[in-house]
Chains A and B, each alone.
Chain A
């Protein structure tokens, strides 16, 4: 049982564990240094809309990691389910909030169905879940294309005049306009319900987090679990929240450029917070404890009488359903359905974002997901700027960010394997 002691060699191992995060922070700061053209307002507008768009998808990856399935690239299947739901809603010209709820319902059924079989597959490919999830995503993409390019039109009769059907009457167009919510469509159906200025949201979040910290601290003491309270993390987190609140108040008072940042969607934000709460709460239930038991040692869980296979299937189903909802949130913000491309990168990008936040194939939390989404998208915004200012070509930065995405996944997996090998190295006593 040696080698599990995390404090073995302090700073060195801390840097290694957070290598990916450190690279990203450095990269983003470097971007600000070399490029003079990025205004704070533009940066935060871009960042906030991207974060609200992507967080839900990244959060959907947490439960499979905790259940020992690793990084579930199979969320693309959830994304496809979400797109199927959106396509149906668009075809029957449903829109607004009711249309959105319809999408959520349809996507949930489809994703749960697909998730069940994906989970079965993972149980058959034990130990290779990640590569299996990657490949099953490609496989599902084939079915998806068959459905949208052939079944629609050839088997299901559709009018060729419908705006989302190709002019020859077979298959769905490459891009489908989702129609703004004001004209009865799905675009911004969620985002436009209620919006507040960015700095207000910042202040509310900071104050909310501060309250949460305080309540948790108090609860731990009251329930006799004061050993869970760490003064250091309390000071760091509290300080961070106070700093954010300070920045927000300062911006409001001085009318700084931060006031120019685009407004943020409240309901979308609430949904994301809701998912965070859901993730925390479910881990406090018997089911959540089973996820963790199975994730830490399938053998011990099995011996203790936990139905390992079933637990893993449930974890996969939850993840797939959440991803399908995440994709709907993503698409209502984008406003157009890129029928054959919108889902393909979702798995890679979400996984990369989670890893950037400091997660690994065996540990992940809400902070990893949210922090990772922010940092990952910051890099995304900055890399064309860096390319522009260093090489005079924005496109170089774009190449670079693709390289970063795959690089991050590669580094994270490499570190994981390296650690696993280190743990199992045979030693002379």
Chain B
């Protein structure tokens, strides 16, 4: 492969003994668009961080293996060195200064200057800016992208699609750019903007620039890329020519069969036909997890999974209903319409919430376990309170008794109920969160990312606990998780959220390809019958 611009040879990386990349071999040819695809945490960003010499890599002991550019081994110590070597990145979040003109943004820290008398004495930094040449350069870069917008327009107020192009223009204005990385470039664009972008990417490739195209949209990859490399759990699954493969195959390779947690079957489950929660056109303004119109019915006694890639809005649903972020839409719970944006009312109506943000919203880290368990019930449900004249006191004995029962029931491993919640392990912290939600006696429980940052043994315990609650108390559970495997292990049906909307509903035993296609926003087609199929599992 003599025409390889960039080669990764046997790249491995581990953080503190935790392997995140193993033996990656990957190359980009001149003028090629090479797509990189994988679930969250598959190792895409780590691979790019290695390429750019990001501090997060260099500061944690570097990596194993070689990176070669034009056949020469390189090792960048900072993103700046990578920039000088001709590697550019178009970020998903724009690195633009809104108050600057397009020219100023394109030329940031690479301004063209002319010497003046003062600068001859005090150095280059006092040279005068040559705005005319800068404008001309910016014009050239914009023309390459067929952008006919004025180069002196201020960036603030431009449509998002244009901002993306300004980012690209900045990269191609750098002299000797060889490799350009696009990180989810179309995530924030409208369809027509995305089409323009893809056309521009193709034009750049035709000029001989090697392009790494990170995306989760399969149809885009199929239409634009020459080759695709699929990563899964830090391993390279396959590199394929686009013409030899198709969306279904890529999707299947992306999800793969993970070490599945076995599905526990039980005949004591009771799923009624009664709809306990009905969402109509729910919108939630959670930054980074925008929900843009969800319709969903949840039946009493069900365990519903909500899956999808990060940033698509799956976490926003529970947060919007529970009132932690502004929301709009019709939500009917137990036959009564809910007022959104009022966490207190949501909890009082019998909903419990185990937040994905365990250490932020979930726990009072510097308070005791027992107080953590009782806190919400005290605030919302007026439990564990004693009346003493005009004042109300907390009922220490009641709290202790309840906490001890919870610690026993949920098997929270701790020294005593007065131990600080912050000193517990992740799994036990999660159990405290669950215990707190249970203390309010909810009939409906939202659980978000229950196993994030928890070791595998504890994961199983949490999932078993949820299943037990459902079985014994008949509690309806909506579990949101990035880990498809755990959703598949306990849920009756799995709702896949993509771009803030319900992409489809799948039974847990649907094929990997179906999940993969749906998570990447390429509708699989046969999704409508899945609720019926899922009912059979009950």
Asked if B63 is at the interface of the complex by the 8 Å CB criterion, the answer is no
Q: For the complex, is A126 an interface residue (Cβ under 8 Å from B)?
A: no
Tally of chain B residues near chain A (CB < 8 A): 44
Given A286-B127, A429-B285: A296 and B99 interface contact (C-beta under 8 Å): yes
Nearest B residue to A363 via CB reads B99
Whether B157 contacts A4 by the Cβ 8 Å rule is: yes
Chain B CB within 10 A, most for which of A223, A224, A227, A289: A289
Residues in A neighbouring B97, C-beta threshold 8 A: 293, 296-297, 300
- Given the known inter-chain contacts A285-B129, A287-B125, A427-B326, please indicate yes or no for A293 contacting B284, CB distance below 8 A: no
Q: Is B483 among interface residues, defined by CB-CB distance under 8 A? A: no
Answer whether A293 and B292 are a contact pair too, CB < 8 Å, given A285-B119, A285-B128, A428-B284.
no
Residues A300 and B111 in contact in the complex (CB < 8 Å), given A284-B128, A426-B287, A428-B285: no
Question: What 8 pairs across the A-B complex have the smallest Cβ distances?
Answer: A428-B285, A4-B156, A304-B109, A296-B97, A287-B125, A304-B108, A305-B80, A428-B283
- Which of A227, A282, A290, A296 makes the CB contact (< 8 A) with B98? A296
> Which of chain A's residues have a CB closer than 8 A to the CB of B290?
429
Q: Is the CB of B157 within 8 A of A286?
A: no
A236 at the interface (CB under 8 A from B): no
Interface 1/0 per residue, A270-306 and B, CB below 8 Å: 0000000000011011111110110011011101111
- Is B418 an interface residue when CB atoms closer than 8 A count as contact? no
Report chain B residues within 8 Å CB of A303. Answer: 79, 95
Chain B residues near A5 (CB-CB < 8 A): 156-157
**In the assembly, what is the distance between CA of A306 and CA of B125, in Å?**
11
Tell me if B132 counts as interface (CB < 8 A to partner A): yes
Question: Interface 1/0s, chain B 427-442, versus A by CB < 8 A?
Answer: 0000000000000000
Kindly list chain B residues whose C-beta atoms are within 8 Å of the C-beta of A162: none
Chain B residues contacting A305 (CB-CB under 8 Å) are 79-80, 83, 109
Interface string of B180-213 (1 = CB under 8 A from A): 0000000000000000000000000000000000
Interface, chain A (partner B; CB < 8 A) = 1, 4-5, 223-225, 227, 281-282, 284-290, 292-293, 296-297, 299-301, 303-306, 426-429
Shortest CB-to-CB span from B107 to chain A, Å, is 9
**Bound CA span A305–B158, Å:** 25
With a cutoff of 8 Å between Cβ atoms, the chain A residues found around residue B370 in the complex are none
A289 x B111 contact (CB < 8 A): yes
Chain A residue at smallest Cβ distance from B108: A304
Interface flags for B130-167 (1: CB within 8 Å of A; 0: not) read: 01100000000000000000101000111010010000
Is B120 an interface residue when CB atoms closer than 8 A count as contact? no
> B325 at interface (Cβ–Cβ under 8 A)?
yes
Across the interface, which residues of B come within 8 angstroms of A223, CB to CB? 131-132
Show 30 A/B contacts (Cβ-Cβ < 8 Å), sorted by A: A1-B98, A1-B156, A1-B157, A1-B160, A4-B157, A282-B126, A284-B129, A285-B113, A285-B119, A285-B125, A285-B128, A285-B129, A286-B111, A286-B124, A286-B126, A290-B125, A293-B100, A293-B108, A293-B109, A296-B100, A301-B109, A303-B79, A305-B79, A305-B80, A305-B109, A426-B286, A428-B327, A429-B283, A429-B285, A429-B500
Q: Please tell me if B6 contacts chain A, counting CB pairs below 8 Å.
A: no
- Verify if B104 is at the interface (C-beta below 8 Å from A): yes
Chain B residues, Cβ within 8 Å of A4: 98, 156-157
Contact status B83-A428, CB under 8 Å: no
> Is the C-beta of B96 less than 8 angstroms from some C-beta in chain A?
yes
Complex alpha-carbon distance, A156 and B124, angstroms:
43
Q: Interface 1/0s, chain B 307-326, versus A by CB < 8 A?
A: 00000000000000000011
Interface contact A224-B132, CB-CB below 8 Å: yes
Q: Note all chain B residues with C-beta closer than 8 A to A288.
A: 129
Tell me whether B328 is interfacial, beta carbon within 8 Å: yes
Contacts of B126 in A (CB 8 A): 282, 285-287
Q: How far is the CA of A289 from the CA of B107 in the complex (A)?
A: 10
Partner of A426, one of B83, B98, B285, B328: B285
19 other A-B residue contacts (CB within 8 Å) besides A227-B152, A281-B128, A285-B125? A1-B163, A224-B132, A286-B126, A287-B125, A289-B104, A292-B100, A296-B97, A300-B95, A300-B96, A300-B97, A301-B109, A304-B95, A305-B83, A426-B286, A427-B285, A428-B283, A428-B284, A428-B327, A429-B285
Q: How far is the CA of A285 from the CA of B129 in the complex (A)?
A: 5
CB <8 Å contact, B132 and A426: no
Q: Name the residue of chain A whose CB is nearest to the CB of B286.
A: A426
Interface string of B273-285 (1 = CB under 8 A from A): 0000000000111
Give chain A nearest CB distance to B218 CB in angstroms. Answer: 25
- In chain B, residues 82-109, which have Cβ atoms closer than 8 Å to a Cβ of chain A? 83, 95-100, 104, 108-109
Within the assembled complex, what's the spacing in Å between the Cα atoms of A177 and B327? 69
- Distance between Cα atoms of A293 and B129 in the complex (Å): 14
Q: Is the pair B108, A301 in contact by a Cβ cutoff of 8 Å? A: yes
Instruction: Give Cα A289–Cα B108 distance, bound, in whole angstroms.
Output: 8
Q: B95: which A residues are within 8 A, CB to CB?
A: 299-300, 303-304
* Smallest Cβ-Cβ distance to B326: which chain A residue: A428
Nearest residue, chain A, Cβ from B290: A429
Q: Which of chain A's residues has its CB closest to B84's CB?
A: A305
Chain A residue numbers with a CB within 8 Å of B116 are 285
Q: Which residues of B contact A284 (CB under 8 A)?
A: 128-129
| A1, A282, A297, A426: the one within 8 Å of B325 (CB) | A426
Q: Bound complex: CA of A5 vs CA of B108, how far in Å?
A: 22
Bound-state CA distance A383–B196 (Å) is: 63
Q: Which residue on B lies nearest to A427, using beta carbons?
A: B285
Q: Smallest distance from the beta carbon of B173 to chain A beta carbons, Å? A: 12
Q: A367 to B192, alpha carbons, bound, how many Å?
A: 45
Note all chain B residues with C-beta closer than 8 A to A224.
132
A286 touches B328 (CB 8 A): no
Q: Which residue of A lies closest to B292 (CB)?
A: A429
B156 neighbours in A (Cβ, 8 Å): 1, 4-5
A428 partner residues in chain B, CB cutoff 8 A: 283-285, 326-328
Chain B residues whose C-beta falls within 8 Å of the C-beta of A286 in the assembled complex: 111, 113, 124-127, 129
CB distance from A242 to the nearest CB of B (A): 30
Q: How far is the CB of B81 from chain A (nearest CB, A)?
A: 10
Q: Which of chain A's residues have a CB closer than 8 A to the CB of B285?
A: 426-429
Chain A residue at minimum C-beta to C-beta distance from B327? A428
Cβ–Cβ contact B109 & A306, under 8 A: yes
Residue from A224, A225, A305 whose CB has the most chain B CB atoms within 10 Å = A305
Chain A positions within 8 Å of B96 at CB level: 300
Q: Which residues of B contact A299 (CB under 8 A)?
A: 95
Which of B100, B160, B283: most chain A CB closer than 10 A?
Answer: B100
B105 → A minimal CB distance (Å): 9
Report how far A301 CA is from B131 CA in the complex, Å. 19
Residues from chain B with Cβ under 8 Å of A427 in the complex: 285, 326
CB distance from A298 to the nearest CB of B (A): 10
Q: What residue in chain A is nearest B109 (Cβ atoms)?
A: A304
